Structure 1
């Protein structure tokens, strides 16, 4: 009997094989709308398609389309949280594998970091999928939510797509390492972002010191 993971993986693969960029968009939209279709399959397989070179798909192209898919799906989840509130999620979330523990984790993350949690969480396992729900419940500013979501989704989509390009026909080996891949990619992206922030602060500090002199 085919496993759930294998079924979902095959669905995502067929979607991209048939529809190209539209498949990437639909798949990433569903994932961010809390439908359990892993981006760890969608984006690496998209990278494999880029590696094949048989279509007009590019790494930059799948990155942008993947981020837009994340944005659309996140907006859907945001408005579910905004309109339905916590009672709706508690009652019906189980049908989409939205457990109480996952909701509580997203709640704690949002309460601790506020709106910035939406940006940071896009490269973190579990939280990235569900952070839109408490953001909607808290009525976070929609424009800020959309900007943070899109910007935060770009590095995640790029890194997964790049891995698919580099692995080529061997991209399927990541199937057994979803959680490890989450951690590696998340840490890598956070290090890069942290370095860029550090350089920006350092540059700003040097500029301010030069003005004082």
Structure 2
């Protein structure tokens, strides 16, 4: 986890706006890269004068939208067959889809807007939206509306904490180690639960 955070920070510092766009694209295309790190690093880079804060936010939103549309298209074209074949690689099972499908049926398109403001969930919501054949215009609109505050707030946090960044990152190793331990626990629990269910 600490290595990932350093890699993201270095990518943003060396490649600027392009790195922000590309990493946010991957994050929204069901690749579990933490947008919380990407955009706070972008905000800090803006504080250092390495990029503009507004261009960083725009790049983050566009990357988010592009990746979301890619995942939506995969879900739309691949459907349930794609989910059966590849869903397990992103920890998204048929049971997860059925749950999302019921949520869509109950709350409608607003599901996408709400999910864009939730950590972790926001990364994977585009795939079931495509599988559910949600209208593209509505999906795009809700994705943009949901992405803007998320991306802007994270970038501003990084910008606002700029002068204290070194102090914060000095204690970042402990935080990332705790996050890594939590991810391992979740991953092992997921595997054990699936193994028990299969038996």
Shorter-chain TM band: 0.7 to 0.9
1:95 — aligned with what? Answer: 89
1:80 — aligned with what? Answer: 74
Whole-angstrom CA distance in 2 between matches of 1:101 and 1:11: 34
Question: Does 1:130 find its partner at 2:152?
Answer: no
Whole-angstrom CA distance in 1 between matches of 2:77 and 2:66: 17
Contact 2:101–2:132 (CA under 8 A) maintained in structure 1 = no
Give the 5 Å matches for 1:1-213: 5-53=1-49, 55=50, 57-98=51-92, 103=97, 106-168=100-162, 169-170=165-166, 172=169, 176=175
Measure how far apart 1:87 and its partner are: 2.9
Normalised by the length of structure 1, the TM-score is 0.72
Whole-angstrom CA distance in 1 between matches of 2:172 and 2:102: 30
Measure how far apart 1:15 and its partner are: 2.1
Gaps of 5+ in 1: 180-213
Q: SS at the partner of 1:20?
A: helix
* Paired positions, count: 173
Whole-angstrom CA distance in 2 between matches of 1:99 and 1:129: 15
2:194 — aligned with what? Answer: none
- 1:101–1:144: structure 2 CA closer, same or farther, 3 Å change rule? same
CA RMSD of aligned residues (A): 2.4
Normalised by the length of structure 2, the TM-score is 0.77
